[in-house]
Amino acid sequence: MPTHCGAVTSPCRSIAAAARPHWAVGPRVIALSALLVASAASRAEADPGHDFAGEAKLLYSVVACGSEQAASASHSRPGRPVKASIVEAHCREQKRRIDAFRRKYVAGSHKFFAKLRRVHLRRIALPERVLYPFGGGDLLSALVTYPDAAEYTTISLEHAGDPRRLGVVDSPTLEQSLALFREVGKLFVLNHDHRSDNLRKLEKGAIPGQLAFFLMALAICDYEPVALKYFRVKPDGSLHYYSAQEIEQLAGTLANKKAEGWVDTDHSVVFSNMELVFRKRGQAGAPLRIHRHIAANLDNNHFSDSPLLAHLEKKGPVAAMTKAASYLLWNRKFSAIRNYLLGNMVFMISDSTGIPPRFTIPAGYMQFTYGAFEGALLEWPRKMSHNDEFVALWQSQPERKLRFRYGYVDLANNYHLLVTTPSRWLIRKRSLPRPPRPKQPAEKKTR
């Protein structure tokens, strides 16, 4: 039937359209509606998520003291300003500790790990993705252990935390919160004390503990935050970033504790998992790096067949690390995360809370010891055969000196470290990539 409408947007109607009752819906309208719905769904799915970059930079300046304008930053808060003297006093103490930590740990350990990687990575290329299970708050160790990675993932029972509260607290509350952060930070960062009771102290309150420790790590290693978003892991392992609308809708849904004996939070479930984008401080053109923290229980009941497992499997080969992990990788209740590591890691650095030889050797790995180990720090693991196997492993190898603490000490306060690397057989079986060959200097042409 002919039509007098030359375009869909024309006000003209065809004879057939004129004959339809006003409530009838034509095929074009149905198709257009379906297209609009699909487009809306696509936009929602493609929503990059709300960026808390401003809040991250404020925390970086005021709490982590990573900016020279920390005191002035406190006056530019979206809420009411605080006394500059509070921030100045906090940052004086923080910077003194940061400088001491750089001298005592960062400089020497950087050289150690660079040499370690040269020695143990002659036959394989190190992946750019780092996985640190049981790594609550400890981005710092990941940056020191694997300084050239492009992506870091830490997983622990702790939630990332709400970044917005610093902008609205009053001066007395801020002063108390900064004092608590310094107390826990001194134990956590400077004394390598990663006990859970310390981490739990910052699961509630004005300062988001995990995020603040991550930002402190950036400050220590001369990085700066660029973006901060929050996400959930979808059933297929992909990530969904929360939009501003979703954050508002979920404001009353609190994040619950991830394990018995832990603590519930006082913030929304939205602020459990975060993605922090960062780069070298003051270098706008520097490569962007990503750190994701995921709050999760890694025991078999929660990790097996979980969205988190699907997410990790999408990563492909990873460089792994763990330390001060309560010897959970020795425990059969954590066999799922252990098996994931054995199937996907290319290289691992740990203390004695890493994977015992009983599991690594049959899977095709070799282990090299540093420092000394005479038995587990905690009492209950010393009753397990894994303890004796580790003691025997250290005794069977030549002494390799370790001059700094990496995670737990042993029962005799010895520093120790373990390198787990694939054997030639495993390299061939998994077709692991080889390291790039060093460029040969061009030969001079002779006449």
* Per-residue tokens: 94: 């923080």
Task: Express each pLDDT in 325-367 by its tens digit.
Answer: 999 999 999 999 999 999 999 999 999 999 999 999 999 999 9
Q: How far apart (Å, rounded) are the C-alpha atoms in residues 159 and 265?
A: 8
Phi, psi values for residue 162, rounded to 5°: -85, 120
Strand 289-295 with 151-156, pairing: parallel
How far is residue 416 CA from its own chain's centroid?
24
Query: pLDDT-based confidence at 137, cuts 50/70/90?
Result: confident
Q: Which residues pair with 290 in a beta bridge?
A: 151, 277
> Edge-to-edge strand order for the sheet containing 345-350?
239-241, 223-233, 273-280, 289-295, 151-156, 129-133, 318-322, 345-350, 416-422, 365-371
Q: How far apart (Å, rounded) are the C-alpha atoms in residues 96 and 220?
A: 11
Query: pLDDT-based confidence at 204, cuts 50/70/90?
Result: low
Q: Which of residues 66 and 42 earns the better pLDDT score?
A: 66
Running DSSP on this structure, what letter comes out for residue 254?
B
Q: Where would I find the beta strands (DSSP E) of 109-159? A: 129-133, 151-156
In the predicted structure, residue 191 carries a pLDDT above the cut 90: no
CB atoms within 10 A of CB 378: 13
pTM: 0.84
Task: Express each pLDDT in 298-327 by its tens digit.
Answer: 999 999 999 999 999 999 999 999 999 999
Give Cα separations from 377 to 358, 396, 411, 414 (angstroms): 20, 20, 4, 10
Exposure of 98 by Cβ count < 10 A (0-12 exposed, 13-18 middle, 19+ buried)? Answer: buried
